[in-house]
Amino acid sequence: MRRAVLLLGALLAACAAPPPPEPPLSYPPSARERMLRIAAAEWADWGRQTSEAPAGTESESDPRNFPRVLAYWQAVPEGSGPIARNRALFRDGSPDLWREPAWSAAFVSYVMRGAGIGAREFPPSAAHAFYLDALIADAQRFPATAPFLPYEVAERAPRVGDLVCADRSAAPLASWRDRAAEAGRFRPMHCDIVVRVTAGAVEAIGGNVRDAVTLSRFATDPSGRLLPRGPGQPTWFAVLENRLGRLPPWFSPSRNEGPTS
């Protein structure tokens, strides 16, 4: 009798166990191309502002940009609160549109969603920390098929399509492995999408930079790896290799890495 009870308990426990995580899908090269096109198109819509030039006329507070930021927030599950608050501000003619919370992670999520990347492969989030948690976990569970792989900043020279991520906190992380150890906790971060690589710099598009979608240029060493940023600037802690369109069955050894300029 006792044995039967134990067996029943084991069977019930097995039935209650969660299913194993679903492996990520492999996307065709068109997904990567769409991602880059969308990022570039958004940047163009915001007036092609760069981090090195004087601030442009386009800003989140301009009512003409209201639908742009609204679309970014609609791409993340946490968007209902910011959308409701800013709809009221827009209705009242307030000059304080989209000031809080920051929408840079919503922008990256919008780009991925628009490119057709499913929530399984890139879980949209209003916080960079939380979508990074999912990407890092996938890389650890499914290193052969994960669409993004994290690297130390000193290990990988960013390429077009990669994400370059920095910590904005007072005690910044030095490594993506440190983030894996604290997964699930909020931490202020910022990631940009690399769109061009040149001698001595990478160019990347990000949201909520100078209150707009802006192209930033980040200095690199002779091997193309990111150099530390200046005092008071966010600290680099990860480069995420973008493998969309570069995994079987789409990958071919004869296919090069695509344009870098």
Residue 11 within a domain: no
pLDDT given at position 251: 80
The answer, yes or no, to whether residue 257 has pLDDT greater than 50, is no
Give the mean model confidence (pLDDT) for residues 229-243: 96
Q: Name the residue range of residue 102's domain.
A: 26-242
**Tokens describing residue 12:** 């019930």
Residue 48 within a domain: yes
Residue 5 within a domain: no
The answer, yes or no, to whether residue 215 has pLDDT greater than 70, is yes
Q: Quick one: pLDDT band at residue 7, thresholds 50, 70, 90?
A: low
Give the mean model confidence (pLDDT) for residues 178-193: 97
Among residues 122, 152, 118, 126, the alpha carbon closest in space to that of 134 is found at: 122
Give the mean model confidence (pLDDT) for residues 131-150: 97
CA distance 18 to 103: 33
Among residues 14, 22, 23, 52, the alpha carbon closest in space to that of 204 is found at: 52
Task: Read off the pLDDT of residues 41-50 as tens digits, 9 standing for 90 and up.
Answer: 999 999 999 9
pLDDT given at position 55: 67
Which residue type occupies 162? Answer: D
Q: Quick one: pLDDT band at residue 58, thresholds 50, 70, 90?
A: confident
The answer, yes or no, to whether residue 204 has pLDDT greater than 90, is yes
Residue 80 within a domain: yes
DSSP state of 226: B
Q: Is-contact 103 190, C-beta < 8 A?
A: no
Residue 168 within a domain: yes
The answer, yes or no, to whether residue 261 has pLDDT greater than 50, is no
Residue 16 within a domain: no
The answer, yes or no, to whether residue 30 has pLDDT greater than 90, is yes
Residue 252 within a domain: no
Mean pLDDT, the chain, rounded, equals: 91
**Tokens describing residue 243:** 């493998």
CA distance 156 to 153: 6
pLDDT given at position 260: 36
Among residues 64, 71, 57, the alpha carbon closest in space to that of 90 is found at: 64
Give the mean model confidence (pLDDT) for residues 227-243: 96
The least confident of 94-103, 203-212, 229-238, 247-256 is 247-256
Residue 118 within a domain: yes
Domain count, the chain: 1
